Amino acid sequence: MSARRARGALLTVEGVEGAGKTTQAARLVEALAASGREALLTREPGGTALGRDIRRMLLALDGEVPAPEAELLLYLADRAQHVRRLVGPAIERGAIVVADRFSDSTIAYQAHGRGLPLETVRVIDDFARGGVAPLLTFVLDLDPEAGLARARATGPADRLESEEIAFHRRVREGFRAIAAASPGRVVVLDASRPVDEIAREIASTAMRRLEGA
Ligand code: T5A
């Protein structure tokens, strides 16, 4: 038991706006903690103090609109800080880190959504991550219109949520393409189902994978 608990890992929850990532990431951390593991909930952008400043710059609707390349680098600046100050050290000490968004969001939003070159995005993301990668990723798949309706019910739309629906459709296809290319790491879940049902499936899949890790 102690040898197993000493091995940390990163688990990520991904998907379109309003798919339920924040809800499910919190439920997964609860389930892991209940099983006796050190579990840490974090998110991107905004998992560190510097990241919270970057998050405000990225999601504000006022101010200058970043060029797609600048937007990419801001997300990756957040990731570089997050990985080195929080995620990496937590994994090193044996914690299970659950991140509400990580690198797959960059591939889906900045490469598939914005149209930046996929290979360039991958290379810079690798540099930002510095070798930290998720053991397991849950993609919550949902019609973007349904997700945006959920998100709008919780508050005003931010800069990314305000993008045209075609952008959000490309993002959804991006997540599906990532899942198809990495079936061993990425589990796609129908996010239109009830919260409890999805949470049970995520928890049991994560426990099984961690036991085998
Ligand atoms: N981004 C991020 C990039 O472009 N590139 C990157 O590299 C990264 C890391 C971050 C933005 O930045 C972009 C993506 C985003 O646009 P964010 O706030 O982290 O923004 O992400 P959002 O998707 O905007 O987060 P939301 O909070 O809007 O959505 P969640 O987390 O998916 O959904 P959640 O859990 O907050 O739930 C939303 C509502 O739906 C309900 C909840 O109760 C809540 O009211 N809900 C359900 N309702 C019915 N059935 C279910 N199964 C439900 N699950 C949740």
CATH code of the domain covering residue 166: 3.40.50.300
For residue 76, is it within any domain?
Answer: yes
Q: Distance (Å, rounded) from C-alpha 82 to C-alpha 180?
A: 27
For residue 16, is it within any domain?
Answer: yes
Tokens 């990314």 appear where? Answer: 160
19 Cα: distance to centroid of ligand 1 (angstroms): 6
Q: How is residue 121 written in tokens? A: 């995005």
- When pLDDT is cut at 50, 70 and 90, the band that residue 33 belongs to is very high
Residues with CB under 6 A from ligand 1: 15, 17-23, 43-45, 75, 101, 105-106, 109-110, 150-151, 153-154, 160-161, 191, 194-195, 198
For residue 39, is it within any domain?
Answer: yes
> Which SS3 state, helix, strand or coil, does residue 192 take?
coil
183 Cα: distance to centroid of ligand 1 (angstroms): 23
Q: What is the pLDDT of residue 2?
A: 42
Share of the chain above pLDDT 70, in %: 97
For residue 4, is it within any domain?
Answer: no
Please state, as a whole number, how many other Cβ atoms lie within 10 Å of the Cβ of residue 15.
Answer: 27
For residue 124, is it within any domain?
Answer: yes
Nearest ligand 1 atom to the CA of 154 is 45
Question: Mean pLDDT across the stretch 16-27?
Answer: 98
Q: How many domains, in total, are found in the chain? A: 1
Beta-carbon contacts of 131 under 8 Å, excluding residues fewer than 6 positions away, are: none
For residue 2, is it within any domain?
Answer: no
Q: What is the mean pLDDT of the chain?
A: 96
Could you read off the pLDDT of 76-115 as tens digits, one per residue?
999 999 999 999 999 999 999 999 999 999 999 999 999 9
> Which SS3 state, helix, strand or coil, does residue 189 take?
strand
For residue 183, is it within any domain?
Answer: yes
For residue 25, is it within any domain?
Answer: yes
Q: What is the pLDDT of residue 208?
A: 96
Q: What is the pTM of this model?
A: 0.97
Could you read off the pLDDT of 155-191 as tens digits, one per residue?
999 999 999 999 999 999 999 999 999 999 999 999 9
Could you read off the pLDDT of 111-138 as tens digits, one per residue?
999 999 999 999 999 999 999 999 999 9
Share of the chain above pLDDT 90, in %: 95
Asked if residues 79 and 103 have their Cβ atoms less than 8 Å apart, the reply is yes
Domain that holds residue 42: 9-212
